[in-house]
Amino acid sequence: MFLSKAEKQLSDEYLQQGYIIRTVADTKALEWVQSQFIRLIGEILGADAYSKPEDILNKIHQRVPVAELNAFRLKVIRGFNAIEGFREMYFKIARPYLETLVGNELAMQLRINLSIQFPGDESSLLPVHADTWSGDSPFEVVVWLPLVDCYGTKTMYILPPQGSANLSQEFVGRAGNSSEELYQSIKKDVCWLDVRYGEVLIFDQALPHGNRVNEESETRWSMNCRFKGVFTPFGDKKIGEFFEPITLRAASKTGMAYQLPEM
């Protein structure tokens, strides 16, 4: 394989762990993304009572009741997905890592998702799952971007490749009757991911992952978006419906458009 030393190191780390955590590739893009959130929150809730963006985000549970959290989250999601250039900025944050791990002809999810997890809130839990269990392509990766420091129970967990392989071989016996029983069967093997603001996480969504009740004193804000190679197999989420090509190269465009002369 004709990979550079840095590319090989990143690839080996991803294959061994099932994820990589790196400093964002474009700091200005991250700052722009965060500023859009602060603006949207101000428009939804009115004048801000805090001076620092991290305070607005970390302490949002003091402003929004749990009963209104999902409606608030959906307003924010609709807001940033309607901003021109938002997806391009998100891509810039992880671009060189994606080009090493996935390729340089990429398809990107049409809509970026957002998780907001209040301290002690049981209504925002994501039970253990692998996206491939519900029809996603195993060729996809997730770019997971925190807008605040995510640590302890304020972050997500993932089951590393070896643990995932063991689970697959013993799935029927370990799955039990609920996702909670499944989690308890892998609890000792999962890895909790410490991802700080200014860093980006890219992980293999075919590995079991999820979150638990946030027992920290601050709210978690994290975004996620799927990327894959344009010419790799698609699962139930098709190009045009869920994905859009974003870095298609000239030779691919001419090749796709080519027709043999009529004889």
pLDDT in tens, 8-45: 999 999 999 999 999 999 999 999 999 999 999 999 99
- Within a domain: 249: no
Neighbours of 97 (CB within 10 A): 21
Position 172 scores a pLDDT of 75
| First vs last C-alpha separation in the chain | 41
pTM to 2 decimal places: 0.95
85 found inside a domain: yes
What average pLDDT is seen over the chain?
Answer: 94
Residue with tokens 């991911």: 193
Is 250 domain-assigned?
no
Over residues 89-97, mean pLDDT: 98
| Domain-located, residue 247 | no
Domain of 190, CATH number, reads 2.60.120.620
Q: What is the residue range of 50's domain?
A: 5-234
In this prediction, residue 211 carries a pLDDT of: 97
Note whether residue 92 is domain-resident: yes
Which two tokens mark 183?
């989690």
Helical ranges in 46-131 per DSSP H: 53-58, 69-81, 86-101
Indicate whether 182 belongs to any domain: yes
pLDDT-derived band at 230 (thresholds 50, 70, 90) equals very high
Q: How many domains does the chain have?
A: 1
Q: Is 262 part of any domain? A: no
